[in-house]
Amino acid sequence: MNTRTEVMQHDPVAPGLYSVQGVNPFEDATPTRNAKLPSDARIILEMLDRINSGQIHITLPDGQVHHCGIGNEGPVVDMIVHDWSVFGEMIARGDIGAAEAFIEGLWGTDSITRLLTLVACNRNALSKAIHGRRWQLLSSWVLHRLRANTKRGSKRNIMAHYDLGNSFYKLWLDETMTYSSALFCDHEHPDQADWEALPNAQLAKNNRMLDALDVKPGDTILEIGCGWGGFAEQATQRGAHVTGLTLSPAQQDFAQTRAERGGWQNQTEFLLTDYRDMQGQFDHIVSVEMFEAVGERWWPTYFRTLKQRLKPGGRALIQVITIDDNLFKQYRRGTDFIQRHVFPGGMLPSPSVFCEQAGRAGLKVTDDLAFGLHYARTLGLWHEAFCERLLEVKSQGFDDRFIRLWRFYLAYCEAGFRAGSIDVHQFTLQA
């Protein structure tokens, strides 16, 4: 089996990355910048020439090589385009078009993560290539709105992602079965952490939340979006009782079985229930990376629900992925790759918008921890693990197209955190 470093260097699941297996076209190709090119290709290449951090060496469908970027610092990434239509897709539909072309095997790269990070770090120079033509993205925008998170729509949207199967997620998540950012407290920089450090980093993240809430024996916790039960398990070790909500039958079954095997089933209940249908009051509320699936239309409802379900003086800890305040206005007007292909109905808040919405519901933000580079490393470790288990992924019935989609998704998210366009926060709210 390849080491994790080798996997990332050789990019094992970009079929057709090289036109002849085992032959690298970059070695002997002659660079050219003056050859006659299709108009779409010329527009994109001229745009990529503005890159001021890093370089992209692009092999075109006719074998010519175009060196893009004027920056002497930053990553150098190789890319090979198999079909001229890729450039038209990029112009018309931005990141969605580029992603779908990658998923279909129309272009490849020696490192999808480094390439997407380079693009994200050069966002200002590449804005048109990232966002595409608004009118040509109308169909994606409409489809996104049709996937709105009504009670029925939320269940459908969540199941579309999480009910791929517990066995699928087991392949590349660590032993804690945690599908959210870790917190690498034991390392000076998160990139120093290896796979063996990930389980303890996930436990550290949960312990930080429990500490922020000052959970005591006998306390009641409502967890909105309980995943596979990892946080609930740690909370019961402090003597708390946890009511976990999910819309995924697969997650509910796994969490219940986990509790029974661990002997803490009497301290938990896992309900297949929409947060809007929950009743009662609790000492604390926890919600880890669930808010992203709420949808902007229901943000006021979400915060009102937190307020109503908290006992007077109670606290909530919400871990949420955010988009930079300066990017939020443009982001909310469109639809990106994640909304289109990974989390239908999803929507990220900006930090200021999140705090504003919480305040309107009578909730005060008392603490805010941002740790985006920790998420970048978490995603990188997941991606490496995913690449190591490709034969097992395929044995579960997933094809090369699915694999390329998931690799693009993991790399796309890591790139966003490394570039700072997105971040992850733990907000502590006081009722």
User: Which pLDDT tens digit goes with each residue over 296-307?
Assistant: 999 999 999 999
Residue 2's pLDDT is 37
Is residue 137 situated within a structural domain?
Answer: no
Residue 224's pLDDT is 98
Chain length of the chain: 431
pLDDT tens, position by position, 409-429? 999 999 999 999 999 999 999
pLDDT tens, position by position, 266-287? 999 999 999 999 999 999 999 9
Given a cut of 60, is residue 388 above it in pLDDT? yes
Question: What are phi and psi for residue 64, nearest 5 degrees?
Answer: -70, 150
Residue 14's pLDDT is 37
What does pTM read for this prediction? 0.86
What is the residue-averaged pLDDT of the chain? 86
Report the share of the chain in percent with pLDDT over 90: 71
Judged by average pLDDT, the poorest of 87-96, 172-181, 248-257, 367-376 is: 87-96
Check if the beta carbon of residue 43 is closer than 8 Å to that of residue 128.
no
Q: Which of 35-39, 338-342, 391-395 has the highest mean pLDDT?
A: 391-395
Mark whether 413 is an active-site residue: yes
Same domain, 199 and 328: yes
Residue 163's pLDDT is 60
Residue 431's pLDDT is 93
Residue 144's pLDDT is 43
Report the share of the chain in percent with pLDDT over 70: 83
pLDDT band at 151 (very low <50, low <70, confident <90, very high): low
Mean pLDDT of the 347-376 span = 98
Same domain, 416 and 356: yes
Helix residue spans in 334-398 (DSSP H): 337-341, 351-360, 372-388, 390-395
Same domain, 309 and 411: yes
Instruction: Write the single-letter amino acid at 152.
Output: R
Is residue 139 situated within a structural domain?
Answer: no
Domain closes at, from 84, 107, 132: 132
Is the pLDDT higher at 404 or at 22?
404
Is residue 138 situated within a structural domain?
Answer: no
Instruction: Pick the catalytic residue from 226, 355, 387, 413.
Output: 413
Q: How many domains does the chain have?
A: 2
Residue 218's pLDDT is 98
Tokens at residue 273, please? 């229930």
Q: How far is Cα of residue 9 from the mean position of the Cα atoms in its chain?
A: 22
Residues forming a β-bridge with 282: 310
CATH number for position 287 = 3.40.50.150
Instruction: Write the single-letter amino acid at 282.
Output: F
Residue 35's pLDDT is 55
Check if the beta carbon of residue 75 is closer than 8 Å to that of residue 54.
yes
Same domain, 117 and 165: no
DSSP string of 303-328, one letter each residue: HHHHHHHEEEEEEEEEEEEEE-HHHH
Instruction: Give dist(CA 260, CA 283) in Å, integer.
Output: 24
Residue 169, domain extent: 147-430
Same domain, 408 and 324: yes
pLDDT band at 127 (very low <50, low <70, confident <90, very high): low
Same domain, 106 and 160: no
